[in-house]
């Protein structure tokens, strides 16, 4: 059976139970029953399901791995973590994150003023806040307000200019203060080492961020002269997201560890932490594992490297901070998108227009017989015969010897033969099979926008696991490409013969068919674009109680049409008036009809822009 690579990317979070894919938690509800439950309340279009228990699991895994490593190595430095808000700033996510992290003192990282405000409002006092990225005077002043409000906040400087501004704000803010309070200061280093993969640009000498060794020494001197050296608390680096290999991190750790030790020996007595940034990878692959290390190995390598350097250089073992974001957020969200249409349904046995026996061209009759008697043992031979016949039949058509119905029968029969052969030869991993799959791929039109919901696929080709939510007890036979509903040919996930996605042959007029797109909780939501004005899908939080019963909370419906236009700063009053006047002045409608049309129009305006699917079609409006 096809498990859609669940054993590779699923991390035990979901399981296949007969027909459906279920949440492996509590009473294990199927994603299908959760989806139907929400849709029955009238929510249409795609759904983004959030599972806070999966956020908790990732936080526990991260902290657990470092706690074990610290115990094993008898490491005296502490472990801390902050969540980088850029990975997901949505309130339903951030609030769940804070709630499930409980007593762990898990903090937040901010990279802009708006994120800093979220961090200040949501981080429990005492848990760390780190601030990265480019900062102006106001942003630095905000960090001072946070420090004075009691937050444990560290400003990481990315360049000398920022330090000059910090010193300026420090002088202004603390001029008349009885006890001067300044945020802790971190220094981001410009790594010599680089990461690997599509997000590796954050490391290396040409990277956008960080101080060179010369600048580090300069910054150190500036702090000393200002009597702020006691605020220097952290060395920071970030090697790039989604590290597929551990090697480059080990190099970066040695680089950062030695800089920490050098500065400490120089006299930075309160320097006590190394912040290793993010980068911990998520396994998105449905076919071959792409990450070459485990979280245990990751934690052990970090702790071991820090311990070695501290020993060699005779300095105290630093506290370790991580800013892993993708690893924490990606698993919690599943996008559920309904299939609207299959494009080549005409290649169906019922579409054949065969003439009475004896009246079909002999080669068409032969194709029909081949199709009927196709078995695993003769599949390859019959397929080759069929392809041969097709060439001859198409030539016969061009020469005027057979008619359009014969040609249509040829197309259908050959397509059916190829389809059946692909199913019969499925276990072979041959080039011929790949070619055949490519040839008969089906286009599934799916009610979602790739630009909105999978921007990293659109921009960078990042793969996300896709599987149907049901029919999993049946072998899928159709090599699938996924088309979204935007009017843009880039809104497509093409069929990849080397990593084939096979879906079921369904009749969407008769039954619902949903696809789940997994691991979409990191970066995708806020990077999502409103191309064609498709906005963030309706989201719902799924919680489990102590008995394992699930319930849906925190539903936020996708924006309705008028809200979308308001966001673009349209004058809604003017739009409303224009639409109304057009109907009222229409010569095509009588008074009763006008009322009915207006009623309909206002109903439509209250809905979102995604398309209606079978359930809403069958269920009236």
Check binding of 323 to ligand PLP (CB under 6 A). Answer: yes
Question: In sequence order, which ranges of 399-482 are alpha helices (DSSP H)?
Answer: 404-424, 431-439, 450-453, 455-460
Name all contacts of 400-404 with Cβ < 8 Å and 24+ positions apart: 401/361, 402/361, 402/364
**Residues 107, 127 contacting (CB under 8 angstroms):** yes
Position among 35, 324, 421, 441 found at the interface with ligand PLP (CB under 6 A):
324
Backbone angles phi, psi at 473, to 5 degrees: -90, -5
User: Looking at beta carbons only, is 101 or 202 nearer to ligand PLP?
Assistant: 202
The answer to whether the CB of 226 falls within 8 A of the CB of 182 is: no
Q: Does residue 186 belong to the site contacting ligand PLP (CB under 6 A)?
A: no
371-404 in b/e burial notation, b at 16+ Cβ within 10 A?
Answer: beebeeeebbebbeebeebbeebeebbeeeebee
One of 49, 87, 216, 424 touching ligand PLP (CB under 6 A): 87
3-state secondary structure 494-531: CCCCCCCCEECCCCCCCCCCEEEECCCCCCHHHHCCCH
Q: How far is the CB of 240 from ligand PLP (least distance, A)?
A: 7
Of residues 326-355, those binding ligand PLP (CB under 6 A): 326-327
Measured from the CB of residue 322, what is the shortest distance to ligand PLP in angstroms? 8
Nearer to ligand PLP, 36 or 201 (CB): 201
Binding residues among 41-60 for ligand PLP as defined by CB under 6 A: none
Q: How far is the CB of 552 from ligand PLP (least distance, A)?
A: 28
Near ligand PLP in 218-277, by CB under 6 A: 238, 241-242, 277
**Which of 159, 497 has the CB closer to ligand PLP?**
159
Q: Report the SS3 class of residue 289.
A: coil
> Judging by DSSP bridges, how do beta strands 538-544 and 466-468 pair with one another?
unpaired
132 makes contact with ligand PLP (CB under 6 A): yes
The number of helix segments (H) and strand segments (E) in the chain equals 22, 20
CB 222 to ligand PLP: min, Å: 22
DSSP-derived pairing of the beta strands 478-483 and 502-503: antiparallel
> Is the CB of residue 160 less than 8 Å from the CB of residue 211?
yes
Three-class secondary structure of residue 153 per DSSP: strand
> Smallest distance, Å, CB 32 to ligand PLP?
30
- Which position among 107, 278, 318, 338 is part of the footprint of ligand PLP (CB under 6 A)? 278
| Shorter beta-carbon distance to ligand PLP: residue 43 or 209 | 209
Q: Give me the residue whose beta carbon is nearest to ligand PLP.
A: 278
Tell the smallest beta-carbon distance from residue 87 to ligand PLP (Å). Answer: 5
Residue 487: strand, helix, or coil: coil
Binding residue (CB under 6 A) for ligand PLP from 173, 280, 482, 540: 280
Q: CB nearer to ligand PLP: give 328 or 414.
A: 328
CB of 227 to ligand PLP, least distance (A): 28
Contact set with ligand PLP (CB under 6 A): 84, 87, 132, 202, 238, 241-242, 277-280, 323-327
């Amino acid at each position: 059976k096809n498990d859609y690579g669940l054993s590779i990317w699923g991390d035990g979070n979901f399981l296949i139970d007969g027909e459906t894919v279920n949440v492996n938690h509590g009473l294990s509800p199927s994603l299908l029953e959760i989806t139907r439950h929400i849709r029955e309340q009238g929510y249409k279009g795609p759904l983004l399901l959030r599972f806070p228990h999966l956020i908790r699991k990732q936080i526990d895994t991260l902290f657990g791995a470092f706690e074990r490593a610290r115990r094993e190595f008898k490491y005296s430095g502490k472990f801390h973590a902050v969540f980088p808000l850029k990975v997901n700033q949505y309130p339903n996510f951030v609030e769940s994150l804070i709630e499930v992290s409980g007593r762990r003192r898990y903090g937040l990282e901010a990279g802009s003023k708006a994120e800093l405000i979220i961090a200040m409002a949501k981080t429990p006092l005492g848990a760390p806040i780190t601030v990265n990225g480019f900062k102006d005077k106001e942003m630095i002043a905000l960090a001072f307000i946070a420090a004075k409000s009691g937050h444990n906040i560290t400003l990481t400087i990315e360049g000398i200019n920022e330090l000059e501004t910090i010193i300026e704000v420090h002088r202004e803010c603390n001029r008349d203060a009885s006890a001067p309070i300044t945020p802790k200061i971190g220094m981001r280093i410009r790594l010599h080492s680089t990461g690997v993969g599509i997000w590796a640009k954050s490391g290396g000498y040409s990277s956008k961020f960080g101080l060179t060794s010369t600048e580090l020494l300069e910054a150190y001197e500036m702090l000393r002269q200002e009597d702020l050296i006691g605020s220097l608390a952290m060395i920071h680096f970030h090697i790039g997201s989604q590290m597929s290999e551990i090697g480059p991190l080990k190099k970066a750790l040695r680089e950062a560890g030695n800089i920490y030790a050098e500065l400490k020996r120089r006299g930075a007595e309160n320097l006590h932490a190394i912040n290793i940034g993010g980068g911990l990878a998520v396994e998105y692959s449905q076919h071959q594992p792409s990450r070459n290390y485990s979280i245990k190995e990751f934690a052990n390598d970090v702790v071991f490297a820090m311990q070695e350097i501290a020993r060699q250089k005779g300095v105290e073992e630093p506290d370790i901070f991580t800013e892993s974001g993708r690893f924490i957020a990606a698993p919690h969200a599943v996008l559920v998108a309904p299939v609207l249409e299959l494009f080549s349904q005409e290649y169906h046995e019922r579409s054949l227009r065969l003439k009475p026996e004896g009246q079909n061209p002999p080669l068409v009759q032969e194709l029909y017989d081949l199709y009927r008697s196709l078995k695993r043992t003769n599949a390859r031979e019959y397929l080759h015969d069929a392809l041969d016949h097709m060439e001859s039949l198409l030539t016969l058509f061009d020469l005027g010897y057979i008619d359009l119905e014969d040609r249509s029968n040829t197309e259908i029969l050959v397509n059916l033969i190829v389809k059946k052969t692909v199913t019969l030869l499925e276990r072979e991993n041959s080039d011929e099979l790949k070619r055949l799959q490519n040839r008969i791929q089906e286009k599934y039109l799916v009610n979602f926008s790739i630009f909105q919901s999978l921007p990293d696929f659109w921009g960078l080709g990042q793969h996300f696991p896709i599987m149907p939510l049901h029919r999993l007890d049946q072998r899928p036979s159709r090599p699938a490409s996924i088309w979204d509903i935007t009017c843009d040919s880039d809104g497509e996930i093409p069929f990849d013969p080397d990593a084939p996605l096979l879906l079921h042959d369904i009749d969407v007029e008769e039954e619902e068919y949903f696809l789940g797109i997994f691991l979409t909780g990191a970066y995708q939501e806020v990077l999502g674009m409103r191309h064609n004005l498709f906005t963030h899908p309706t989201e719902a939080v799924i919680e489990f109680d102590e008995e394992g019963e699930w319930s849906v909370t925190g539903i936020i419906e996708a924006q309705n049409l008028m809200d979308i236009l308001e966001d673009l700063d349209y004058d809604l009053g003017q739009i409303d008036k224009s639409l109304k006047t057009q109907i009222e002045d229409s010569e095509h409608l009588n008074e009763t009809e006008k009322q009915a049309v207006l009623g309909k129009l206002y109903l439509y305006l209250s809905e979102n822009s995604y398309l209606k699917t079978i359930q809403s079609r069958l269920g009236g409006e």
